[in-house]
Structures are given as C-alpha cells and as structure tokens.
Chains A and B, each alone.
Chain A
Amino acid sequence: MLVFLLRRLMQACFVMIIISVISFAIQGKLGDPVQQMVGMSASPAERAQLREELGLNDSFISQYWRFAKNVVHGDLGMSYYYKEPALDVILKKLPATLELAFCAIILVILVATPCGVIAAIRPRHLFSRFLMILSSIGLSVPVFIVAIFLVYLFSVKLNMAPSFGRGQTTEVLGLWNSGLFNKDGLSHLILPSLTLTIALMPVFVRLIRAEMMEVLQSEYIRFAWSKGLSAPRIYFLHALKNTMLPIITVGGIQAGTLIAYTILTETIFQWPGMGFLFMDAVSRVDTPLISAYLIVVGGLFVITNTLVDLIYGLVNPTVRLASHGL
C-alpha cells in the first residue's frame, strides 16, 4: 500500500511539473502584462524599466524557476484585476464548483448505473432502445445547447427553477459557503447540475451497457446461474462488480471532461465558481489567474485520479496483491 502510494505521489509530482511549465509558458503568450498594468499613458522608458523590475527580460528558464519556487510556497502570483493573490481568488470560488460537480457526479452514478444495467440485461427491450437513442442524442448535442434548452423550458416557460446565480448560501464550519443546506440554494443547483449530468451521462450509460454485456457472457456468470442464484444477485453483485472495474478508471479520466464542462455550464448559469472566474480571467487577460486556475485544476485532476486508483484497488483484489510488491 505504502509503495503504491509513494509511486503514485511521484507520478503526481511529475504531472504537476508539466502542468506548471505549460501554465507558465502561456503567460508570455497572452499579450503583454506591462501593457495591461500601466495602460497607454506610460512612456517606453518607463515600460522598459517596469519590464526589468518584473524580471520579464530574464531567460525563460530562470523566469520559470522563480515561478516554480513561488508556486511551491503557495504563491501563484497576484491577480491583475482583483489585486489579490490568485490562489485566494480561486479558492474562494472553489466550493461553488465542487458542489456543482459533486451533485452532477451523484446524479450520474445514480441514474447511469441502473440504466446501463437494464440496457445490458434486456438489450432488445423498447426501453433499452429508447435509452440508446437518447444517449446518442445526448452525446452529440453540445453542452451549451442543452443548458440553453433547459433554461428555456424550466425557467422561461415553466418557471420551475431559477436560471442564474447560486442563490442563498449558508456557512458551514466557518470555511465553506454552501448552497446545499437551504431550499433556495438547492433550487439554484437544479439546472446547472442537470446540464452537467446530461453532458456526462450518455458516455457512462453506453460504457456500463457495453461492459456489462461482455461480463454477462463470461463463464463465471453462467456458473453463477448454474448454482441457482437469484437474478438480482447475479446482475447486481456478480456482474456489476466486474463491470465497474473499467468504469471506475474511465470515471477518473472523465473528471477532466467534467471540469471542462463546468466552465461552459457556469458561464451560462452565471454560477460563481472557478469556471466562470476562468472565463472572466481569459477575457481580462489576467494571466496569473489563468495559470493559477490551470494549476489548481491540474491538482484536482491528479488527486481525483489517485483516489480513483485507490478505489480500483479496493474493488479489484488482484491489484491489492500487486501493491504488496508480490
């Protein structure tokens, strides 16, 4: 277990270094920060001086080294716009995004699993066919269209759910502004989390269905039938446990897609999270904020995938053995 964790930690460090290089490299490509800071009024000499003071004339390597040292100390630079440490700005918005993603993930798991299983057990049933058609549509329609459609239907026409903002939030343990604990906050969660769910679900329904159909063909399932076990036990224990192994891995990778979709979803629903902030940062060319976002998201991605690998090890006994170094 320890060996496994250490190995994962080394991989994570390596990934983070690459992410930091990329997020640093794009800083120089997104327009001139001096231009952004001093505006039109400064003279060329003043600009050159500022450039020298900011260390922008140093070599790429030494600039990156300075950046990396700061990052390790938790300093991701100052946001040009907010005039605050970029990391603080992002961390303030993190809870909103995490709550949104969390709701979407729970919904995906709760809906995609039974749908995929049913579609695998009864592939010719009308419901399964309907599900497959629906998931094809879901896969091919872009997220923002889904979001706009949901807003039109539920907010404009039916007036059932609010279409923007996060609503009322309550403070939890003094460090988290949560919308999960009051009615207004929850009602604001409905449409954005539904949008994310619709975006992610088709992949999982199809994946679970395909995996499950393959598992159902295997000898151990036939053996389970020959033992006279009940159908629910065979489907939901014997088959599903084996089906979930590859799905867990894909789930971790899909976390990246989820983050990408939060940018779009948050923008459409004016959801005050990291994705919305990122879009703002891009339009303001707030480069420290952009690279801080990339590093935070990269970190989240690495953490989720490490967790996913740990979960995989818990479900799959053969992996557990390997982690003992046997």
Chain B
Amino acid sequence: MNLLSVSNLNVSFRLKHQDLAALIDISFTLNRGERIAIVGESGAGKSVLGFSIVNLIGKPGHIESGSIKLENKELTTMNLRQLQEVRGKRIAMIFQDPMMTLNPVITIGDQLVETIRSHTKISYKDARNIAIEKLHHVQISSAEKRFYQYPHELSGGMRQRVIIASVLLLNPDIIIADEPTTALDVTIQAEILQLLLTICRDNGVALVLISHDLGVVSKVAERTLVMYAGRVVEEGPTLEIINDPQHPYTQGLLNALPQMTLPGQRLNQIKGNMPSLAERPTGCAFHPRCPYATPRCKQEQPGFIHSGESSVACFMVEDMLSEFADQSDQEVNE
C-alpha cells in the first residue's frame, strides 16, 4: 500500500464573488521512504499542495474535492482532533523561513518539548532528553545550552537545524519541506540539504520537497512532479525529467538554469509570467508562453500520456508519440 496517496485533489480559494481554483485534479503517490520533489515557479500551487496534505491551507482556501489518504486513513474528512494526531507525529512540516518559524518568545527547549508532550504521555525530563538527543543529531553544537536559548540567539542556519530536529522528535513517516533552504545563504543551503537527505535516508522517512530549484531537487529527490498554474504537467523519475524533459514548461525551466559550460551567454528564460489564479488561460494554461502552442492548446486541456515511469500532459508529446506510432505501423505494413 502507498504511504500517501493523493487523488483528484481540488483546492480553491473561496472569495466573495468567485471561487479561485488553486489546485486542479492533483494525483500522486508516495511510498514509504521515498523522496519526491514538487517544482514550479512561484504561484504554481506547490506550497498550497504541501499545506493541504495536513489540511493547513490558510483561509479562505479549502479542499473542494478529492482524497488524501495516509495509508488507509482519509485526511480530508478528519476533524481537528484527529488531524492533530497526524500532524507532527506522522506528517511533519519544515517551513521556508527559519527566522519566522520559531516562536520568538518561547525557548527552543520548550518548543521542542511541547511537541513531544502533546503527542505522548512523558515527563518533562524525558522529553528534554529526547529533544537534546535530536539537537545533537542535527549537529547543533552545545545542544544543552541551546535548549535554554531563545530563537533570536541563533543564526538562520542554526534555526533551520532546530526546526529539523523538531520535526524528527516523533519519528514521523513523512516530512514535507516547503523550500527549506530558500531563505538561507548559499553555503548553508548545501549543509542543510545534505542533513535533510541523510536524515531521511537513515531513518526511512519519506520526503516531499517543495522547491523551485531544480539543482536542489536533482540532489535529493527520486521522483519529481512539475507543477504549472495549479496542475501537475509532468511527473517522473528525477533523472529522466532532468535529462529528457518532455513538457515545454519543464524544458524552459531547465534551460533557465545557469550552465557552467557556456560562459558569457545570456540566461534563457521562459517569456511572460505565471498567470494569476483569476486569469487562468483556457485549454493548457501554459499555451500563452509555450513556443510550440497550437490552436488546439488554447481550447483543450491535455490529458496525461504515460511512457515508462513518466507521464506528461502535453499535446505536442501526444502528437509526436502518435506520429511515431504511425510511422512504425507503416514500417510494419511495408
């Protein structure tokens, strides 16, 4: 059984005059110990997807339809009390900005201990020992001292380590990391990423890494979902997606990465911007920015085409495949 299976998830933001769809028909699965990445530009709905898994989408967002199953438990219909048992204990989250994630007026130690104590009946002293052990685990120096300090006494990288320690406290099955390194400086980014990877690998924790950085993704994730305007447009093994991207949007993202081998050239970029929720284009939402767009792309939403372990939603790929099939048919006939 899959550890986590999301199927046909629709999330929308309910405003006064209209419902704005933020996620449309999202389906994916996550196995025990598997690491997947969700990539896309800002506004693609990556974070909304991450938050909706544990039903933490900020108002006025809400899950319209679809299902999110943790093993055989349906998460979308759980009440707050049931959700609280899942949050932190089975699915833990790491947020983008470590400077904003910890409560400024509560000591590091108390913020760690309260997580343990709200899920298990355990004395403060025992909880403290677990917390300090986890602080050691994420390579925080003088953990006993840090335990009694306040967040402002720690650097950004340190705080992200504390947050990683905090999500490890209850040995969760899944960690959802929403751009965990974006707010850190580059030297720290690699360290934190390595730490996260080691921890997931060593403890068999499944990871959902939300990122816009394909470089980061390629180091960590086994499988990648590419999102555009609230939909998944391409999904597959990370290596395949990076080496042989099918969807024009994925190709654009990869082309936009700086290449060490071609110095002195302008960076490629995808023309235009991600549409806002209210101005989603008809048909394939990417068509206004797509170099291969056809009239059909403006009218119809492409379905998924599966090949091997990957799938992609694009008419161009569909056409290419059917041409290829036609050709091989002809060859057979000849």
* Residue positions of A touching B, CB distance < 8 A: 217-220, 222-231, 233, 237-238, 241-242, 245, 315-318, 321
Contacts and interface: CB of A to CB of B under 8 A. Distances in A.
B262 interface: no
Contacts of B186: none
22 contacts: A218-B100, A219-B95, A219-B97, A220-B102, A220-B103, A223-B101, A225-B87, A226-B93, A226-B95, A227-B88, A227-B115, A228-B83, A228-B85, A228-B115, A228-B119, A229-B115, A230-B84, A230-B118, A231-B80, A241-B103, A242-B104, A317-B152
Given A227-B166, A228-B115, A315-B105, A219 B84 contact: no
Q: Which of A219, A220, A228, A321 has the most CB of B within 10 A?
A: A228
Contacts of A222: 56, 58, 95
Given A222-B58, A228-B85, 11 more contacts: A219-B97, A220-B103, A223-B95, A223-B101, A227-B88, A228-B86, A228-B87, A229-B84, A237-B106, A241-B105, A321-B152
A38 to B, nearest CB: 63
Give chain B's interface residue range (CB within 8 Å of chain A). 20 to 34
Nearest to A238: B103
B181 to A, nearest CB: 16
B105 A317 contact: yes
B146 interface: no
A218 B166 CA distance: 18
Nearest to A226: B93
A28 to B, nearest CB: 50
B93 A242 contact: no
B100 A227 contact: no
Given A226-B93, A228-B115, A228-B119, A317 B104 contact: yes
A218 B103 CA distance: 9
Contact of A223 (B89, B102, B119, B152): B102
Interface string B137-171: 00000000000001011000000000100100000
A237 B106 CA distance: 9
A214 to B, nearest CB: 13
A238 B106 contact: yes
A16 to B, nearest CB: 32
Nearest to A237: B106
B54 interface: yes
Contacts of B126: none
Interface of B: 54, 56, 58, 80, 83-89, 92-93, 95, 97, 100-107, 114-115, 118-119, 150, 152-153, 163, 166
Contacts of B114: 227, 229, 233
A321 B152 CA distance: 10
A226 B87 contact: yes
A272 B119 CA distance: 56
A229 B152 contact: no
A270 B118 CA distance: 54
A209 B150 CA distance: 26
A224 B119 CA distance: 13
Q: Which 3 A-B pairs have the closest CB atoms?
A: A228-B88, A228-B87, A219-B100
Contacts of A237: 106
Nearest to A217: B58
Contacts of B100: 218-220
Contacts of B84: 228-230
Contacts of B104: 220, 242, 317-318
Contacts of A226: 54, 56, 87-88, 92-93, 95
B93 A241 contact: no
B63 to A, nearest CB: 16
Contact of B105 (A217, A219, A223, A242): A242
A317 B148 CA distance: 12
B42 to A, nearest CB: 17
A225 B115 CA distance: 10
A220 B111 CA distance: 11
Nearest to B152: A318
A321 B104 CA distance: 13
A220 B56 CA distance: 13
Contacts of B95: 219, 222-223, 226
Contact of A220 (B101, B107, B118, B153): B101
Contacts of A223: 93, 95, 101-102, 163
Nearest to B153: A321
Contacts of A238: 103, 106
Contacts of A321: 152-153
Nearest to B100: A219
Contact of B118 (A217, A233, A241): A233
A217 B84 CA distance: 19
